[in-house]
Amino acid sequence: MADSVGRLDMLVVGAGFAGIYQLYKAREMGLSVRVLEAGDGVGGTWFWNRYPGARCDVESLDYSYSFSRELEEEWVWSERYAPQAEILRYIEHVVDRFGLRDGIQLNARVASAVFDDERLLWTVRTEAGDVLECTYLVMATGGLSIPQRPQLPGLESFQGRWYHSAQWPKEGVDFTGQRVALIGTGSSGVQMVPVIAEQAAQLTVFQRTANFSVPAHNVPFTETALAAAKARYPDRRAMGREAITGQFLNANTKTAAEMTEEEQRAELEYRWRGAGGGFRMLRTFADQMSNLDTNRMVADYARNRIRGVVKDPVKAELLCPKDDLPFGGKRLCVDSHYYETFNREHVDIVDAAAHPIIEATARGVRTDEREHEVDAIVFATGFDAMSGALKAIDIRGARGARLSDKWAHGPTSYLGLGIAGFPNMFVVAGPGSPSVLSNMVHSIETHVDWIARLLQQARAAGVRRIEATQEAEDGWVRRCAEEADKTLYPRANSWYMGANIAGKPRVFMAFVAGVPLYRRIIEDVAARNYQGFEMA
When the beta carbons of 355 and 465 are compared against ligand NA7, the nearer one is 355
Say whether residue 209 binds ligand NA7 (CB under 6 A): yes
Which of residues 121 and 441 has its CB atom nearest to ligand NA7 in the complex?
441
43 contributes a contact to ligand NA7 by CB under 6 A: no
Q: Which residues between 264 and 283 bind ligand NA7 (CB under 6 A)? A: none
Beta carbon of residue 50, minimum distance to ligand NA7 (angstroms, whole number): 13
Count of CA atoms in the C-beta half-sphere (13 A) of 233: 21
Q: Give every CB contact of residue 75 below 8 A, 6+ residues apart in sequence.
A: 64, 90, 93
Map the footprint of ligand NA7 across residues 463-502, applying CB under 6 A: 495, 500
Which helix (H) or strand (E) segment holds residue 445: the answer is helix 440-460
Residue 206 found at the interface with ligand NA7 (CB under 6 A):
yes
Name the minimum Å distance from CB 383 to ligand NA7: 6
Residue 186 in contact with ligand NA7, rule: CB under 6 A: yes
Contact status: 254 vs ligand NA7 (CB under 6 A): no
Residue range at the interface with ligand NA7 (CB under 6 A); choices 205-213, 278-286, 289-297, 336-344: 205-213
Closer by beta carbon to ligand NA7, 463 or else 501: 501
Q: Candidates 22, 60, 165, 252: give the one binding ligand NA7 (CB under 6 A).
A: 165
Q: Which of 109, 208, 363, 491 binds ligand NA7 (CB under 6 A)?
A: 208
Among 349, 357, 417, 468, binds ligand NA7 (CB under 6 A): 357
SS3 366: strand
Question: Taking contact as CB under 6 A, which single stretch among the options 123-131, 187-195, 232-240, 458-466 is the one that binds ligand NA7?
Answer: 187-195
Q: What is the DSSP letter of 432?
A: T
Give the DSSP H or E segment for 161: strand 161-164
d(CA 440, CA 433): 11
**382 near ligand NA7 (CB under 6 A):** yes
With a CB cutoff of 8 Å and minimum separation 6, the contacts of 121 are: 7, 115, 133, 134, 135
Closest approach of ligand NA7 to the CB of residue 28, in Å = 30
Residue 206 beta carbon to ligand NA7: minimum distance, rounded to whole angstroms: 5
Q: Which stretch binds ligand NA7 (CB under 6 A): 170-178, 201-209, 240-248, 316-324?
A: 201-209
Task: Give Cα 403 to chain centroid, integer Å.
Answer: 21
In angstroms, what CA-CA distances link 2 with 40, 130, 131?
Answer: 16, 5, 8
Concatenating the DSSP letter of every residue in 224-290 gives: HHHHHHHHTHHHHHHHHHTSTTSS------S-GGGS-HHHHHHHHHHHHTTTT-GGGGGGSSTTTTT
Q: Which residues pair with 112 in a beta bridge?
A: 125, 394
Among residues 421 and 432, whose Cβ is nearest to ligand NA7?
432
Our finding on whether 443 is near ligand NA7 (CB under 6 A) is no
144 binds ligand NA7 (CB under 6 A): yes
Q: What is the dihedral of CA 460, 463, 467, 469, to 10 degrees?
A: -100
Report yes or no: 143 and 435 within 8 Å, Cβ to Cβ. yes
Residue number with CB closer to ligand NA7 (123 or 187): 187
Nearest alpha-carbon partner for 406 in 395, 417, 121, 416: 395
Residues that bind ligand NA7 (CB under 6 A): 144, 150, 165, 183-189, 206, 208-209, 331, 352, 357, 380-383, 495, 500
